[in-house]
Amino acid sequence: MSLRDGTAKMSKSDPSDMSRINLSDDTDTVAQKIRKAKTDAEPLPEDPAGLADRPEARNLVSIFAALNDETAEAVLARFAGSGFGTFKPALADLVVETLRPLTARLAALSADPAELDRLLAIGADRASRTAAPTLEAAYRAVGLR
C-alpha cells in the first residue's frame, strides 16, 4: 500500500514520489521514504487486532513481515510498545537490503544496453513460441487459415 495513504495502493501513477519505492531509488532515498512514511503517534501494539483502525501502521508492519518472511504477529512481538522512531529504521534497513540485488541488476543492465537487448530478444522469442499455438487457433477460428 502507499507510504502516504495506507488505504491506497502503492502506484507509480501517484503524483507523490514519496508514496512508493522505485527500483531506481538509491539506498538513501529508500530509507528517507520509509522514515517519512505516514504513521500515527501510537506505539505498535502486541496484537495485529490493534492495527485494525491504523492503516498506515498496518501497512508498514505488513511490508516488514512480507520482506522478512514472517507473520505480522512475529513482527509485533518484536516491536510491541515501540514507536515508529525505532520501527522505521529497522524497516528501512530491511527494504534496502532486500532491494539491493534487484537495484544492482537494474544498474548493470542500464550500463550494458547490448546485454539488455540480448535478454529482450530471448524473451521475445520465448513469448512468440509460447503464443504461437494460441495465435494459430485464433486465426483458424476467424477463418484466416
| pLDDT-based confidence at residue 103 (cuts at 50, 70, 90) | very high
- Same domain for 75 and 19, yes or no, is yes
This prediction's pTM: 0.82
> 126 lies in which domain range?
112-145
Range among 20-24, 103-107, 122-126 rated most confident:
122-126
Reduced to 3 states, what is the DSSP secondary structure of residue 48? helix
Structural domains in the chain (count): 2
- Same domain for 29 and 43, yes or no, is yes
Of 43, 50, 75, the residue nearest 62 (C-alpha): 75
- Same domain for 86 and 130, yes or no, is no
- Same domain for 80 and 119, yes or no, is no
- Same domain for 24 and 64, yes or no, is yes
pLDDT tens for residues 10-21? 999 999 999 999
| pLDDT-based confidence at residue 74 (cuts at 50, 70, 90) | very high
What pLDDT does 145 receive?
A: 83
- Same domain for 76 and 48, yes or no, is yes
- Same domain for 97 and 131, yes or no, is no
Q: Please report, for the domain that includes residue 40, its CATH number.
A: 1.10.240.10
What pLDDT does 143 receive?
A: 94
| pLDDT-based confidence at residue 99 (cuts at 50, 70, 90) | very high
- Same domain for 58 and 120, yes or no, is no
- Same domain for 83 and 133, yes or no, is no
- Same domain for 145 and 77, yes or no, is no
Mean pLDDT of the chain: 96
Task: Compute the average pLDDT of residues 35-61.
Answer: 96
What pLDDT does 31 receive?
A: 97
